[in-house]
Structure 1
Amino acid sequence: MPGAIREALDALPLVDHHCHGAVTADLAEPEFASLLTEGEAWPGVSPFDTPAGIAVRRHCAPLLGLDRHAPAADYLARRAELGWQEVNRRFLTAAHTETFCVDTGYAPHPVTSPAELAAAAGARAYEVVRLESIAEAVAAQGIDAAGYAAAFRAAAEEAVRRPGVVAVKSVAAYRTGFALDPARPTYSEVTRAAALWFSRGGRLTDPVLMRHLLWTAVGLGLPLQLHAGFGDSDLRLHHADPALLTDWLRLTVGTVPVLLLHCWPYQRQAAYLTAVFEHVYLDVGLTLHHVGPARAGAVLAEATEITPFRKLLYSSDAYGVAEFHHLGALSFRQGLAGLLQDRVDADELSPTDAVRIAAWTGRDNALRLYGLPASDPGRD
């Protein structure tokens, strides 16, 4: 059965269970460069000279009609020549993704809506509601602190009733970190914390209100996505270790699925949590396009050491540049195919099981978890 695993993954229409929109404007060099990295732009240091930038020049340039490893200047010129709509179409269709679950709560740039992303890709799209955005919108309404808890719950319930919403998400890892008291806060605690927040303004960063947000999420009944690990400079990485959620996860057993997103460098901690809690799942998300196909297999290998195979999902977490929707999918396919083939070659896995695991991870686990229809209604 030589090559069957790679062939199966290449042919598999993926479900990208967490991503963002692609920009709806042509990008000048500084704007494009800023979207290639999670970090800041540094004078004299090109974001093209990173693993992600090198992978873009190697794997994305041919889709623009350029040679592999095209110089950055040629790449940017060709991108500008084609225009953002054609660039988005090429990369989104190349990703061969049948379904996108789109986080609409982060948009510092004008980006495609879920429907626009789906149209460009020839796919379907659903919405993931970011709960911090809901909470901050409620706070901006000028309600009093005593009414905050009920108002946030009502607004969150209204948001998840929108057509096409399949999950909610929190960025607690950014705002407070995960070292939170796991207990559900009382009404009095929430009211006092809301009064302090309203007096100072700004983003939701209060630990009590974050605990309230997470417990409210549990009550909404939809899968809950949690950013974990790798992110931009707004994050304190050691506070984003998902193992810090252990006590809270113990209290929420039997409630909603909890999806740990991205996780690097804590993919092993996340794998442990999937192995001991029935409601915990993981992906390695944006890590894939930042390490590129060259190292995607290494990250996935650690994530799959003890993770039950029905608990690993695919996501790109692509934002802004459609290159990352394509590069995430490519890195996932190549990385997973390589590690599964290695296990088959070592006679630790049958070829049939390897193909089945590939389909579960790239598509079927997400379809089952989010209750999504498959493109082929005859498939089980």
Structure 2
Amino acid sequence: MELLVDHHCHGVVRRDLDRAGFEARLTEADRPAPGTTLFDSSLGDALRRLCFPLLDLAPTATPEAYLERRVELGHAAVGRRLLHAAGLAAMLVDTGYTPEPLTSPAELGEAAGAAAYEVVRLEAVAEELATAGGSAASFAAALRAALAEAAGRPGTTAFKSVAAYRVGLGLGPERPSDAEVVAAAGRWLAAGGGRLADETLHRFLAFAALDTGLPLQFHTGLGDRDVDLRTCDPLLLAPWLRAAEATGVPVLLLHCYPFQRHAGYLAQVFPTVHMDLGLATHNVGARAAAVLAEALELCPYGKFLYSSDGFALPELHLLGAALFREVAGADLARRTTENAHRVYPAVGGRGPGR
């Protein structure tokens, strides 16, 4: 089995879950729909086929039996079984979203038997600075220093922007001037800081990340219900990508669905742009082959990477890897690992997560 580099994922929960807690983490929705269950979906079909047997159950077992078995084994043992079965060489872990305590990159890598690295979320860095009480006048310098410090830590391999969630991907192509950053930071801090949602500051963060030389990941496409999917089309990022191209820093378009063809076009025409399908792979289940084919209509094979975007449930890390292998085939799976090593030169061997 070709070991994969999962170039974007998250930690898993540190506790056992009841059915409601489990199903809540299978979906991008923030509440269940009455009378429905995610076990009755393409994702649920994949769970039965690929995860139930790993916990010693037949695919025909009931969801209740599966969840009882999870509790019987305990969340740590379940995590080890499923993460090991994913067959990963390395995991790049976004640590910027923790609605509850999740496993650290080192803990996730240990459970998977894989090297583990950190992806630093830009907005989390900025929001921490605001909490620390800095001034608008000092914000730009403090942010650059914080990114330089993060980039210099062992194990940091990339930065990530969630501008798509906050202001959309229509970022302007110009670097904000110092005066513009001071004015925008002043408005944000005067309002109490908190959740950053200012186009000027998101644009500033993205350019500042490029200045470190580390790859920059962008959330695109589907996400939680608070995202405006219309503004998450990666094509909206094209003006910014033109401006960013001169840096030569790799830009990674994550998830992309339902805009996978648009992302494939961008990966073809912009030398620094790469893409994956992320959580779309396990969400569409049996349709994963069709979605992958659409992405690869234009995307060069050498610019396509693998990620699961697995979050909270080790099942999602496993499903992403298993479904991807099924539809990609051995050659493309091997290529994605080679591509990841090229885009992230620090990833290799037995990294800091081991």
Query: Taking structure 2 as the reference length, what is the TM-score of the superposition?
Result: 0.95
Letter in 2 for 1:283: D
Q: How large is the RMSD of aligned CA atoms in angstroms? A: 1.3
Residue 312 of structure 1, CA deviation = 0.2
Aligned to 1:199: 190
Tell me if the contact between 1:36 and 1:53 (Cα under 8 Å) persists in the aligned partners: no
Q: Does 1:254 align with 2:246?
A: yes
SS at match of 1:129: strand
CA deviation profile, 1:330-377 (whole Å, cap 9, x unmatched): 11001112xxxxxxxxxxxxxxxxx5444112x11001110145459x
Aligned-partner Cα distance in 2 for 1:82–1:279: 45
Unaligned runs of 5+ in 2: none
> Which stretch of the first structure deviates more once superposed, 248-257 or 133-142?
248-257
Of 230, 233, 246 in structure 1, the residue corresponding to residue 225 of structure 2 is 233
Aligned-partner Cα distance in 2 for 1:242–1:307: 14
Structure 1 residues 210 and 373, CA, compared in 2 at 3 Å: closer, same or farther? closer
Aligned to 1:329: 321
Residue 143 of structure 1, CA deviation = 1.3
CA deviation profile, 1:106-156 (whole Å, cap 9, x unmatched): 111221111111111111101110010000000111111111111111111
Aligned-partner Cα distance in 2 for 1:358–1:146: 48
Higher Cα radius of gyration: 1
Aligned-partner Cα distance in 2 for 1:275–1:262: 17
Q: Does 1:367 align with 2:338?
A: no
Aligned-partner Cα distance in 1 for 2:117–2:163: 22
Aligned to 2:299: 307
Residue 175 of structure 1, CA deviation = 0.6
SS at match of 2:253: strand
Aligned to 1:170: 161
Q: Does 1:208 align with 2:183?
A: no
SS at match of 1:168: strand
Identity of aligned residues (%): 53
CA deviation profile, 1:185-224 (whole Å, cap 9, x unmatched): 1111111111111111230001111111111111111000
Equivalenced residue count is 347
Aligned-partner Cα distance in 2 for 1:103–1:129: 6
Aligned-partner Cα distance in 1 for 2:306–2:188: 36
Aligned to 1:5: none
Tell me if the contact between 1:66 and 1:75 (Cα under 8 Å) persists in the aligned partners: yes
Aligned to 1:35: 25
CA deviation profile, 1:87-123 (whole Å, cap 9, x unmatched): 0001000000010000011111221111111111111
Q: Does 1:181 align with 2:156?
A: no
Letter in 2 for 1:303: A
Residue 258 of structure 1, CA deviation = 0.2
* Residues 348-359 of structure 1: pairs in structure 2 closer than 5 A: 356-359=331-334
Q: Does 1:290 align with 2:283?
A: yes
Aligned to 1:126: 117
* Residues 47-126 of structure 1: pairs in structure 2 closer than 5 A: 47-126=38-117
Tell me if the contact between 1:41 and 1:47 (Cα under 8 Å) persists in the aligned partners: no
Residue 81 of structure 1, CA deviation = 0.7
Structure 1 residues 62 and 290, CA, compared in 2 at 3 Å: closer, same or farther? same
Aligned to 2:266: 273
Of 13, 17, 35 in structure 2, the residue corresponding to residue 23 of structure 1 is 13
SS at match of 2:245: coil
Aligned-partner Cα distance in 1 for 2:333–2:197: 39
Aligned-partner Cα distance in 2 for 1:296–1:372: 30
Structure 1 residues 50 and 148, CA, compared in 2 at 3 Å: closer, same or farther? same
SS at match of 1:316: coil
Structure 1 residues 374 and 198, CA, compared in 2 at 3 Å: closer, same or farther? closer
Residue 58 of structure 1, CA deviation = 2.2
Of 147, 158, 162 in structure 1, the residue corresponding to residue 149 of structure 2 is 158
Query: Taking structure 1 as the reference length, what is the TM-score of the superposition?
Result: 0.89
Aligned-partner Cα distance in 1 for 2:153–2:313: 27
Aligned-partner Cα distance in 1 for 2:86–2:333: 16
Unaligned runs of 5+ in 1: 1-10, 338-354
Aligned-partner Cα distance in 1 for 2:96–2:60: 34
Aligned to 1:8: none
Tell me if the contact between 2:123 and 2:196 (Cα under 8 Å) persists in the aligned partners: yes
SS at match of 1:143: coil
SS at match of 1:305: coil
Of 3, 6, 9 in structure 2, the residue corresponding to residue 13 of structure 1 is 3
Aligned-partner Cα distance in 2 for 1:245–1:49: 35
SS at match of 2:312: coil
SS at match of 1:139: helix
Structure 1 residues 70 and 372, CA, compared in 2 at 3 Å: closer, same or farther? farther
Letter in 2 for 1:360: R
Tell me if the contact between 2:157 and 2:347 (Cα under 8 Å) persists in the aligned partners: no
Aligned-partner Cα distance in 2 for 1:297–1:47: 21
